[in-house]
């Protein structure tokens, strides 16, 4: 089995802490990578030691430096990571329908969630393999 890692790409530290805690409460062994924006997220993905990992990305849309959409575009354009090993879930506080429509353009987006994440959502992310 591939080693699994969850990326929390979001500029809100409290949100990241909440998600981190909720995951750790359920499975302390899962590796979590916190990224403050899309640029940091991409940099982390590119690290060679992650090459064989299964990565679940919980991606916010509105972030400074590199937002969620630009993160996805960069990911599509450049061969940063084997997309088959990557599951992206959009997690946003916005309830704007346009975001949902836009998300359909990216085939590797596996789901669209509104904040806050419920315990069921968290358990689903842990269960992904």
Nearest to 114 by CA among 80, 87, 89: 89
Rounded Cα gap, residues 81 and 100, in angstroms? 24
Give the number of C-alpha atoms closer than 13 A to the C-alpha of residue 98, restricted to the C-beta side. 2
Among 5, 32, 115, 126, binds other proteins (CB under 8 A): 115
Stretch that binds other proteins, among 28-36, 40-48, 72-80, 108-116 (CB under 8 A): 108-116
- Distance between alpha carbon 16 and the CA centroid of its chain, in Å? 11
What residues between 20 and 39 interact with other proteins by CB under 8 A? 21-22, 25
Give yes or no for residue 44 binding other proteins (CB under 8 A): no
| DSSP-based three-state secondary structure for 23 | helix
CB closer to other proteins out of 72 and 91: 91
Give yes or no for residue 96 binding other proteins (CB under 8 A): yes
CB closer to other proteins out of 26 and 54: 26
Give yes or no for residue 14 binding other proteins (CB under 8 A): yes
Question: What residues have CB less than 8 Å from 73, skipping those under 6 apart?
Answer: none
CB closer to other proteins out of 100 and 110: 100
């Amino acid at each position: 089995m591939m080693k699994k890692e969850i990326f929390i790409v979001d500029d809100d530290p409290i949100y990241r802490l909440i998600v981190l805690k909720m995951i750790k409460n359920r499975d302390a062994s899962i590796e979590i990578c916190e990224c403050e924006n899309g640029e940091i997220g991409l940099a982390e993905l590119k690290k060679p030691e992650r090459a064989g990992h299964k990565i679940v990305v919980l991606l916010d849309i509105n972030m400074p430096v590199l937002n969620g959409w630009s993160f996805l575009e960069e990911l599509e354009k450049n061969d940063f990571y084997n997309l088959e090993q990557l599951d992206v879930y959009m997690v946003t506080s916005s309830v704007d329908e346009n975001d949902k429509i836009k998300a359909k353009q990216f085939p590797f987006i596996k789901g669209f969630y509104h904040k806050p994440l419920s315990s069921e959502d968290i358990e689903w992310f842990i269960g992904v393999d």
